[in-house]
Chain A
Amino acid sequence: MASVSFNGVEKAFGDTKVIHGISFDIRDGEFMVLVGPSGCGKSTLLRMLAGLEEITSGTIAIDGRIVNDFDSKDRDIAMVFQSYALYPHMSVRDNMGFSLRLRRADKREIETRVARAAQILNLEPYLDRYPRELSGGQRQRVAMGRAIVRDPKVFLFDEPLSNLDAKLRVQMRSEIKALHQRLRTTTVYVTHDQIEAMTMADRIVVMHDGVIEQIGTPLELYDHPDNLFVAQFIGSPAMNVVQGTLRRTNGIVHVLTPDGVQWPVANSGAADGQPVTYGVRPDHLELTASGERGVPGEIVVVEPTGSETELVVKIGAAQLVVEAHGRATVQPGDKVTFAVNPANVHLFDQKSGQRLTA
């Protein structure tokens, strides 16, 4: 078990800089997820930690020891690849024991450790099979087994679930989480899927264009996004966003959109007349009986999912998504009113995209 620290880490491929001075710490035993759209540098960062990419500048330390100049094999890490990267010519047993064999470990010890990992991952019936004889989920488990057997200081996962179908992905997600709760090994997990990030992480690092947008626990990111990017990236369906101008009239604050809709706001630090981006999550728009105060809109599409109903509604000129609990009683074309609790509203500066705090 170990902590990991990134300090001013940069990466350039030729003249193209892809990572711009990243610094953060991962605590001992923490499950840290790096998330962001493709091309944001999250995989490159992980590969630098793994020793598969050179570090252009800055330092990476594992357990307080700077590992910039260490070979992968001397960093005491194990990695699970998106493509599994199992050795096709070796049985499951040999795949899992390969690293120990390279370390010239005692044969009996290899046996014991492979057997223990196989038991944890329910791989015992498959030990003598070859990777080509396994299903996607089983291969994924072998890849994890190969990591567990080593008992490394840090586990690295590079989009490990991308090659699995949706159902298996959900199952493996909870298996990986359960594994972490059992072993408590420091884990760095890269994904582009924010749901994976939300459900698995102790803390999340949101990356975009080679910089960190925000670091925090899943609910911190959901409730208090630092900027518009994080606000729109985290949460599904994504946060609704409209552009408008902040107005203060007679002590009442609201955001007025160009099409004349007035959105309620808690007292904000923004100045009168300041252009702002107004964000509200789909589950924070609440259907109310018409006639009550609120934001008027018209139902466009009704999508029942069983436990919840997703509504696409037209408010002013904008189309927004609303998540209503339970069954919907509305029909497309209905005129309705939505209540918005000003406490659940997010305001961002239109230019910088930074959060405007109250």
Chain B
Amino acid sequence: MATRRHVLAEAKLLLIGIPVTIWTLLPIYHLFLFSISSKEEAFAGKLWPDHPTLRNFSIVFHEQHYFLNHFWRQFGNSLVIACAVGVLTLAIAAFAAFAISRLRARGGRFVLNCALFTYFIPAAFLAVPMYKAMGGYGLLNTQWALILAMVTIAAPYAIWVLKQASDKLPFELDEAARIDGASPLQLFRLVYLPLMAPSLVAVGTYALLLAWNEYLYAFLLLSRDEDITLPVALGHFLSADDSPWELLMTTGLIYALPPAAIYYAFKRYMVAGLTSGAVKS
């Protein structure tokens, strides 16, 4: 009896789970299908091409198309910007969370409330003010413009998450370290950072992926073909009357691989880091 109820419950879950999985995977399969089809076959509407080919990848990797003239350069731009955003956001958020949560800095509560408040304003609303600000600093068309803009957007959430995770570390650890003779910086480096590692990985990955996937700000703040990131370059594909869809999809697939790899490598931390301090005292 009990097993039958168990089977029934599982069947119901599967009934929901399978369609949702297909729904999620279908676009990705579509992406993959296009990338291994020739231009003629791409729109044939088949579930598997008659003559699967890797030619599209070869074209992309060898930059053999007008839209792909700067593929590697743009891929590199994306990489540099995403990594810089990840590292900078992490540094800012870790220092801020440490000061607010562990050193109990005055005004910490206020900073935290401000961070939360920024979520009432959609990032798109800030695009134009940000453009003007970067213009004022003379940073337009430099990678710094996009890096700083993305750090601005990612930092409040990162601070918030790290502050919550910090609060879960037992305060006696700080006191023990103080009595052992640690200065605040030593406490930060030798006790706080190692214990926060899972949360730091999660938050760093979050910021990195946010910048990697960003389109709007990259489109606004960078304009020369050599400076833009790959998502913006992908957007350019659509400006032609006869868009090379198979190449667009191939590039998109390539662009989606690093985040997938990162997520796979750090998924242990992502789950642990975003749900708890993950530290047993």
The interface of chain A, by Cβ under 8 A from chain B, is 50-52, 71-73, 77-79, 81-83, 85-89, 98-99, 102-103, 132, 146, 150
B185 to chain A, nearest CB (A): 11
Known contacts A89-B194, A132-B280: A73-B179 contact under CB 8 Å: yes
Which of A50, A73, A78, A88 contacts B195 (CB under 8 A)?
A88
Most buried by A among B177, B179, B194, B195: B179
* Mask of B164-204 contacts with A, CB within 8 angstroms, 1/0: 00000010110111111110001000110011000000000
Please, which residues of chain A bring their CB within 8 A of the CB of B182? 73, 102
Closest 7 A/B residue pairs (Cβ): A85-B172, A73-B181, A99-B180, A85-B176, A89-B194, A102-B181, A72-B179
Question: Contacts of B42 on A, CB cut-off 8 Å?
Answer: none
Instruction: Indicate whether A81 sits within 8 Å of B176 (C-beta atoms), given known contacts A87-B191, A88-B279, A89-B194.
Output: yes
Q: Please name all residues of chain B whose beta carbon is closer than 8 Å to the beta carbon of A71 when the two chains form the complex.
A: 178
**Nearest-CB residue, chain A, relative to B172:** A85
How many Å lie between the Cα of A87 and that of B173 in the bound state?
A: 7
User: Across the interface, do A83 and B179 meet the contact criterion of CB distance under 8 Å?
Assistant: no
Q: In the complex, which of the residues A50, A79, A103, A132 contacts B181, with contact meaning CB atoms closer than 8 Å?
A: A103
Which of B173, B178, B181 has the most CB atoms of chain A within a 10 A radius of its CB? B181
A/B interface sample: 10 pairs, CB < 8 A:
A52-B179, A73-B180, A73-B182, A79-B175, A83-B172, A85-B281, A86-B281, A88-B279, A88-B280, A102-B181
Nearest-CB distance from A110 to chain B (Å)? 13
Q: Other than A50-B179, A73-B178, give 8 A-B pairs with Cβ distance below 8 A.
A: A78-B179, A83-B170, A85-B173, A85-B281, A98-B190, A99-B180, A102-B186, A146-B180
List chain B residues, Cβ under 8 A from A88: 195, 279-281
Cα distance A72–B280 when bound, in Å?
26
Question: Residues of B contacting A72 with CB < 8 Å?
Answer: 175, 178-179, 181
A105 to chain B, nearest CB (A): 11
- Minimum C-beta distance from B139 to chain A (A): 39
The distance in angstroms between the C-alpha atoms of A51 and B190, with both chains bound, is 21
Cα A83 to Cα B175 in complex, Å, equals 12
Determine the residue in chain B with the shortest Cβ distance to A73. Answer: B181
A78 to B186, CA, bound (A): 18
Smallest CB gap from A101: residue in B: B190
Q: Which residues of A contact B279 (CB under 8 A)?
A: 88
